[in-house]
């Protein structure tokens, strides 16, 4: 069975996310990186990608510190992968800061040849293969990965030509969908072709989410034989990012229950919350492992969930650390939540009839709800006109609220 490994790139592609600029963070501090690294290790992640030190002194110092710090957190073997151009001097610096693996990359798409690396195919292949050969000669056991950047826009024959030249030297080929244009069937096809052509080389996937297909592409890639899946906390990466670590684990675990042993999946939600506290913003609403996915706003949904959560909660997020759900009182709420809220949360000694009357008044005035007026405030103002007493509950009763109104 193919063991899947997450390669977390929060500290590399994650720091390339525009969200770091939107939140005026720009880069994670060493202390923040240590917290995130500890959280990832707690989750069971063992493969981490870092910037090459050529990016800047602060990153160089941080990688050095993080590699040492990580070793104090676990006995498990860890991989510290330096994301690195095919330059021998960059590679030396990556190894000097403590990385024990190289994530080499070079683009040979027509666009890369013309505007990025600005090397014709033959020259690019000669450079990459001579660098890989020389590294292999000096470091026979060093983990080495090579990615042809923008693989899905690279002519198939060019991709094969550079991978043929690199295959004697590398452990793994990356398959980056750099601009997020692949669809799952393209992924199945390319992974299948590489699997067949290079049976001894492992495969790694790196899918950008420009079309919102990154997770679907991961599922296709794993099904087709990929071993390593690049992901980051929240899916932070260039532009709209890559798949989130927790989204990948959550989705893959549906068909790969062995991931429950390999990873400590209950740490998924905590790590998303940790990132929220660092960026001082909410866990993204599109994140699968989130409280958002346990939050209900429409009256019919709230009624059903109050009676049986499964009606609108299909996924077992509890195993991923989301241990509560949320029913939001708002303009779409109906009798069931209003009755529940007034009786169970606010402790009014309210009858169903009174709650129905107040619901009608509330429904007629929802246009008042907005930034200046919370739904709770409107509801309490309405109930206060009805002269309804409050129950005084013995200590502890509030924690054992009724969940099913029919009981
Ligand atoms: C980048 C581009 C990259 C690299 C991926 C890889 C991509 O930011 O340098 O090295 O496999 O998507 O191609 O993220």
pLDDT in tens, 195-251: 999 999 999 999 999 999 999 999 999 999 999 999 999 999 999 999 999 999 999
Ligand 1 atom at minimal distance to the Cα of residue 107: 13
Cβ pair 79, 100 in contact under 8 A: yes
Task: Calculate mean pLDDT across residues 120-139.
Answer: 97
| Pocket residue to mutate for ligand 1, from 116, 176, 208, most atoms within 8 A of Cβ | 176
221: number of Cβ within 10 Å: 26
Give 369 Cα–ligand 1 centroid separation in angstroms: 46
The response to whether residue 147 sits with its C-beta less than 6 Å from ligand 1 reads: yes
Query: For all residues of the chain together, what is the average pLDDT?
Result: 95
In this structure, the residue with its CA closest to atom 8 of ligand 1 is 13
How would residue 396 be classed by pLDDT, with cut points 50, 70 and 90? low
Cβ pair 330, 297 in contact under 8 A: yes
φ/ψ of residue 172, rounded to 5: -140, 145
For residue 248, which of 276, 268, 225 has the smallest C-alpha distance? Answer: 268
Give 149 Cα–ligand 1 centroid separation in angstroms: 6
- Residue ranges of alpha helices (H) inside 225-369 are 245-255, 259-262, 268-279, 299-307, 335-340, 352-364
Residue 391: both structure tokens together: 């129950």
Whether the predicted model's global pTM rises above the 0.85 cut: yes
The response to whether residue 178 sits with its C-beta less than 6 Å from ligand 1 reads: yes
Task: Calculate mean pLDDT across residues 240-268.
Answer: 98
For residue 151, which of 211, 114, 120, 111 has the smallest C-alpha distance? Answer: 111
In this structure, the residue with its CA closest to atom 5 of ligand 1 is 176
Beta-bridge partners for 80: 48
Give the Å distances, CA to CA, from 185 to 134, 216, 219, 223, 280: 37, 10, 11, 11, 38
End-to-end C-alpha distance for the chain, whole angstroms: 48
Ligand 1 atom at minimal distance to the Cα of residue 177: 12
pLDDT tops 80 at residue 398: no
Catalogue all structural domains in the chain, each as residue range(s) with its CATH number.
5-279 (3.20.20.70), 335-400 (no CATH)
Quick one: how many helices (H) and strands (E) in the chain?
16, 10
Give 255 Cα–ligand 1 centroid separation in angstroms: 27
In this structure, the residue with its CA closest to atom 3 of ligand 1 is 178
Give the Å distances, CA to CA, from 333 to 11, 339, 381: 42, 10, 16
Q: What pLDDT sits at residue 223?
A: 97
Q: What pLDDT sits at residue 116?
A: 85
């Amino acid at each position: 069975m193919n063991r899947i490994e997450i390669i977390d790139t929060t500290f590399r592609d994650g720091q390339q996310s525009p969200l770091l600029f939107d939140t005026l963070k720009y880069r994670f501090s060493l202390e923040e990186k240590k917290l995130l690294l500890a959280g990832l290790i707690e989750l069971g992640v063992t493969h981490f990608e870092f910037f090459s030190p050529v990016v800047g002194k602060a990153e160089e110092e941080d990688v050095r510190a993080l590699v040492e710090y990580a070793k104090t957190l676990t006995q498990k073997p860890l991989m510290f992968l330096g994301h690195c151009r095919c330059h021998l001097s960059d590679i030396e610096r990556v190894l000097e800061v403590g990385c024990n693996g190289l994530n080499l990359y070079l683009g040979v798409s027509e666009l890369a040849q013309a505007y990025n690396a600005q090397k014709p195919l033959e020259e690019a292949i000669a450079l990459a293969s001579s660098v890989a050969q020389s590294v292999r000669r000096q470091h026979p056991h060093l983990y080495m990965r090579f990615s042809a950047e923008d693989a899905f826009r690279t002519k198939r024959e060019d991709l094969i030509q550079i991978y043929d030249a690199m295959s004697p030297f590398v452990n793994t080929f990356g398959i980056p969908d750099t601009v997020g244009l692949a669809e799952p069937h393209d992924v199945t096809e390319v992974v299948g072709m590489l699997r067949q052509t290079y049976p001894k080389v492992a495969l790694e996937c790196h899918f950008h989410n420009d079309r919102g297909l990154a997770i679907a592409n991961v599922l296709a890639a794993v099904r087709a034989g990929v071993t390593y899946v690049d992901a980051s906390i929240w899916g932070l990466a260039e532009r709209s990012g890559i798949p989130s670590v927790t989204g990948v684990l959550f989705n893959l675990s549906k068909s790969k229950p062995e991931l429950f042993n390999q990873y400590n999946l209950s740490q998924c939600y905590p790590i998303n919350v940790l990132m929220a506290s660092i960026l001082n913003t909410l866990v993204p609403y599109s994140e699968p492992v989130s409280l958002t996915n346990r939050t209900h706003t429409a009256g019919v949904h709230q009624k059903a969930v109050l009676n049986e959560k499964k009606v609108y909660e299909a996924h077992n997020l509890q195993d991923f650390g989301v241990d509560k759900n949320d029913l939001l009182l708002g303009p779409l709420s109906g009798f069931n939540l209003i009755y529940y809220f007034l009786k169970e949360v606010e402790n009014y000694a309210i009858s169903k009839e009174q709650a129905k009357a107040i619901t009608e008044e509330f429904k007629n005035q929802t246009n008042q709800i907005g930034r200046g007026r919370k739904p709770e405030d409107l509801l309490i103002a309405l109930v206060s006109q009805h002269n309804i007493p409050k129950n005084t509950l013995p200590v502890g009763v509030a924690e054992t609220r009724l969940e099913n109104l029919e009981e």
